[in-house]
Structure 1
Amino acid sequence: MFFLPQNIDDYIVAHSEDEPQILKDLARETYQKVLQPIMLSGPYQGRVLSMISHLKAPQRVLEIGTFTGYSALCIAEGMPNNSELITIDINEELEDIAAVYFSRFSENRTKNISITQKIGDAITIIPELEGTFDLVFIDADKPNYINYFHLVMQKVHSGSLIISDNVLWHGKVVEDLNPKDKSTSILLEYNQLLKEDHRLQTVLLSVRDGLTLSRVL
Structure 2
Amino acid sequence: MFFLPKDLDDYIVQHSQDEPQILQDLTRETYRKVLQPIMLSGAYQGRVLSMISQLRAPKQVLEIGTFTGYSALCLMEGMPDGSELHTIDINEELEDMAAGYFARFRESENKNITIHQHIGDATTIIPSLQAGFDLVFIDADKPNYVNYYHQVMEKVTSGALIITDNVLWHGKVVKDVKPKDSSTPILLEYNKLLKEDPRLQTVLLSVRDGLTLSRVL
Per the shorter chain, which TM-score range?
over 0.9
5+ unaligned residues in a row in structure 2: which ranges?
none
Equivalents in 1 of 2:130, 2:198: separation in Å? Answer: 25
Aligned equivalents of 1:189, 1:180: Cα separation in 2: 17
Shift of 1:113: 1.1
Is the aligned partner of 1:42 residue 2:42?
Answer: yes
**Per-residue displacement from partner, 1:90-139 (whole Å, max 9, x unpaired)?**
10011111011011011112221112111001111001001310000000
Q: CA deviation at 1:157?
A: 1.4
The whole-number CA distance in structure 2 between the counterparts of 1:135 and 1:12 is 26
Q: Structure 2 CA distance, aligned partners of 1:95 and 1:110?
A: 22
- Following superposition, the deviation at residue 208 of structure 1 comes to 0.2
1:208 and 2:211 are equivalent in the alignment: no
CA shift at 1:180, angstroms?
Answer: 1.4
Counterpart residue identity of residue 100, structure 1 = G
SS of aligned partner of 2:183: helix
Q: Which amino acid is the alignment partner of residue 112 of structure 1? A: N
Q: State the Cα deviation string for residues 33-60 of structure 1 (Å, max 9, x = none).
A: 0000000000000000000000000000
SS at 2:10 equivalent? helix
Partner of 1:54: 54
> Which 4+ runs in 1 deviate beyond 2 A?
none
Q: Which deviations, in whole Å up to 9, do the C-alpha atoms of 1:63-95 show, x marking residues without a partner? A: 000000000000000011110111000100111
Determine the C-alpha separation between the residues in 1 that align with 2:188 and 2:215: 20
TM-score (norm 1): 0.99
Matched-pair contact (CA < 8 Å) for 2:177–2:184: yes
Q: Which residue number corresponds to residue 189 of structure 1? A: 189
Q: For residues 110 and 142 of structure 1, what CA distance do their matches in structure 2 show?
A: 35
SS of the aligned residue for 1:67 comes to coil
| Structure 2 partner of 1:133 | 133
1:94 aligns to what?
Answer: 94
What residue in structure 2 maps to residue 116 of structure 1? 116
Question: 1:61 offset after TM fit, Å?
Answer: 0.1
SS in 2 for 1:131: coil
> 2:154 and 2:61 mapped to 1: Cα distance?
14
Question: Is structure 2 residue 151 aligned with structure 1 residue 158?
Answer: no
- Confirm or deny: 8 A CA contact 2:126 2:152 kept in the other structure: yes
Q: Which moved more, 1:107-116 or 1:36-45?
A: 107-116
CA distance in 1, matches of 2:90, 2:177: 28
Q: Which amino acid aligns with 2:133?
A: F
Report the CA distance between 1:184 and its aligned residue.
0.6
Given residue 15 of structure 2, which amino acid in structure 1 is its aligned partner?
A: H
* Counterparts of 1:74 and 1:58, CA distance in 2: 12
Say whether 1:175 aligns with 2:175: yes
Matched positions, count: 217
Structure 1 unmatched runs, 5+: none
RMSD in angstroms over aligned alpha carbons?
0.6
